[in-house]
Amino acid sequence: MNNNKVLSFIGICMKAGKLVSGEFSVDKAVKGGQAYLVVVAGDVSAGSKKHYTDMCRYYDVPICFLSSKEELGRVLGKEYRASLAVLDENMARALQKKMEAEV
């Protein structure tokens, strides 16, 4: 699967200020009802996958697993990032459509 368009769109969300990253910020956004989509790196630990999956299921927030911590971090201008949350409903929908198109 080629993630270039998806990763590019994540970068656009970041530049627009409609995205938070990192475990604390993502947890806060989901629990505060601000997150419309959670993206988790595919190479996180099993414990982290369970944490995000359970949290998103409980708060009814869509979740997807994508790429690696290094690639997500690079797109966001950080060293690495295990998770991010999209804070804009329309951008979240557009990102989900791009991911579905890439499959």
Domain spans in the chain, listed from the N-terminal domain onward: 4-102
Q: What is the pTM of this model?
A: 0.94
The pLDDT confidence band at residue 1, using thresholds 50, 70 and 90, is very low
Order of strands across the sheet with 63-66? 19-21, 83-86, 37-41, 63-66
Alpha helices in the chain (DSSP H): 4-15, 23-31, 46-59, 69-76, 89-102
Please answer whether residues 102 and 5 qualify as being in contact, where contact means their C-beta atoms are separated by less than 8 angstroms: yes
Considering only the top CATH level, what class is 4-102?
A: alpha beta
9-59 residue pLDDT tens: 999 999 999 999 999 999 999 999 999 999 999 999 999 999 999 999 999
